[in-house]
């Protein structure tokens, strides 16, 4: 991985990198925050997956996570949201294609050549950053909106890889909302049974869940009813009696104002399991 930029903040290092991804068949950028403790010993990591239209820079510049991560001694690993480059197929809409990889492995042409974000987040990215930086193999995963969907799916499907899972305003039931239905049809085809592998509600319903999950949802979120459906996730939490909780926040919307207001609570939630 090649360092593109680096700045000091809260005693740690905020680094932007680029590398060639063999999984996505393109060049990728990402951001990494190393807390000051990483100068003396290996530290655990929180992977944060961003939402539609975002890059790695949205969370690193807007969430205000570095102060608390530095106090706790947790690294932040912040990937991009999709493959990038002139050779990567795209569509002229904000909720599909570049910036909207949905953290799945596409099976349909022309998307399958590049859109393998599930494997990238699960395998290639951890191997790459853990080979370059002083990181332990203790990881947790979080995300926002589409990234919240990704964090829930990847975390629930791979409990041996992550200590805890959290999400801000996640797309909880993508097989039953317009964003998910369009993206899954293009990326995965028309077999709706195959979609269930990337739906947190369906995964927990089928297999249960063993890792603790925290979800924060604003009640003034304009995507709440049509796209996010936290009530469906709450229903499977209740049915399976797993370690999951949804916190509802009056007056908060879908923006980074919401994320920055609750990021300390989520980081401390993960620190309980990572440390």
How do residues 8-32 score in pLDDT, each as one tens digit? 999 999 999 999 999 999 999 999 9
221 is a catalytic site residue: yes
CATH number belonging to the domain at 2-274, selected among 3.40.50.460, 3.30.450.20, 3.40.50.1820, 3.30.390.30: 3.40.50.1820
Residue % of the chain over a pLDDT of 90 = 99
Q: What is the pLDDT of residues 69-80, one digit of tens each?
A: 999 999 999 999
The confidence score (pLDDT) of residue 122 equals: 98
Give yes or no: 272 in active site: no
pLDDT of residue 68: 98
CA–CA distance, 216 with 249 (Å, rounded to integer):
7
| Three-state SS sequence of the chain | CEEEEEEEECCEEEEEEEEEECCCCEEEEEEEEECHHHHCCCEEEEEEECCCCCCHHHHHHHCCCHHHHHHHCCEEEEECCCCCCCCCCCCCCCCCECCECCCCECCCCCHHHCCEHHHHHHHHHHHHHHHHCCEEEEEEEEEECHHHHHHHHHHHHCCCCCCCEEEECCCCCHHHCHHHHHHHHHHHCCCHHHHHHHCHHHHHHHHCCCCCEEEEEECCCCCHHHHHCHHHHHHHHHHHCCCEEEEEECCCCCCHHHHHHHHHHHHHHHHHHHC
- What are the helix (H) ranges across 96-177? 117-119, 125-132, 146-157
Task: Over range 144-155, report the average pLDDT.
Answer: 98
- Residue partners of 40: CB distance under 8 A and separation at least 6: none
Length of the chain: 275
pLDDT range class, residue 134, cuts 50, 70, 90: very high
Which residue in the list 145, 164, 166, 169 is annotated as catalytic?
Answer: 145
pLDDT of residue 81: 98
CA 217 to chain centre: 15
The percentage of the chain sitting over the pLDDT mark of 70, rounded to a whole number, equals: 100
- Count of beta carbons in the 10 Å neighbourhood of residue 86: 6
CA dist 207 and 177 (Å) reads: 22
| Tokens of residue 257, six digits | 């104002």
Active site includes 173? no
Nearest-angstrom CA–CA distance, 60 and 63? 6
d(Cα 124, Cα 163) in Å, to the nearest integer? Answer: 19
Could you tell me which residues come within 8 angstroms of residue 109 by beta carbon, excluding any fewer than 6 positions away?
A: none
How far apart are alpha carbons 108 and 102 in whole angstroms?
14
Catalytic hit among 114, 144, 173, 254: 254
Q: What is the pLDDT of residue 132?
A: 97
When the pLDDT of each residue in the chain is averaged and rounded to a whole number, the result is 97
pLDDT score for 241: 87
Using 50, 70 and 90 to split pLDDT, how confident is the model at 242? confident
- The single residue of 56, 80, 216, 221 carrying the catalytic annotation is 221
Determine the Cα–Cα distance for residues 241 and 57; give it in Å rounded to an integer: 36
Summarize pLDDT for 77-121 with one digit per residue, the tens: 999 999 999 999 999 999 999 999 999 999 999 999 999 999 999
- The continuous run of DSSP H or E covering 187 comes out as helix 178-188
99's tokens: 């910036």
Domain extent listing, the chain: 2-274
| Residue 40 pLDDT exceeds 90 | yes
d(CA 191, CA 11): 50
| DSSP category for residue 169 | S
pLDDT at 195: 98
pLDDT of residue 199: 98
- H or E element in which residue 237 lies: helix 230-240
């Amino acid at each position: 991985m090649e360092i593109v930029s680096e700045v000091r903040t809260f005693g740690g290092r905020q680094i932007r990198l680029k590398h060639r991804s063999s999984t996505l068949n393109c060049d990728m950028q990402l951001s990494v925050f190393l807390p000051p403790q990483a100068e003396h010993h290996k530290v655990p990591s929180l992977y944060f997956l961003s939402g539609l239209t975002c890059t790695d820079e949205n969370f690193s510049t807007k969430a205000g996570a570095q102060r608390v991560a530095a106090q706790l001694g947790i690294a932040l690993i912040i990937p991009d949201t999709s493959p990038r480059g002139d050779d990567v197929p795209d569509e002229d809409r904000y909720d599909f294609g570049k910036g909207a990889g949905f953290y799945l492995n596409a099976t349909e042409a022309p998307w399958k050549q590049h859109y393998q974000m599930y494997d990238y987040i699960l395998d290639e990215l951890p191997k790459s950053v853990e080979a370059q930086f002083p990181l332990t193999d203790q990881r947790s995963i979080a995300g926002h909106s589409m990234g919240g969907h990704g964090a829930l799916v990847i975390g629930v499907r791979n409990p041996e890889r992550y200590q805890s899972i959290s999400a801000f305003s996640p797309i909880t039931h993508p097989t039953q909302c317009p964003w998910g239905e369009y993206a899954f049809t293009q990326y995965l085809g028309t077999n709706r049974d195959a979609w269930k592998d990337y739906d947190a509600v369906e995964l927990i319903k089928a297999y249960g869940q063993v890792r603790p999950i925290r979800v924060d949802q604003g009640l003034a979120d304009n995507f709440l009813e049509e796209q996010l459906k936290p009530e469906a996730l709450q229903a499977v939490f209740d049915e399976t009696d797993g370690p999951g909780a949804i916190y509802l926040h009056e007056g908060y919307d879908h923006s980074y104002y919401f994320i920055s207001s609750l990021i300390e609570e989520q980081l401390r939630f993960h620190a309980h399991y990572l440390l």
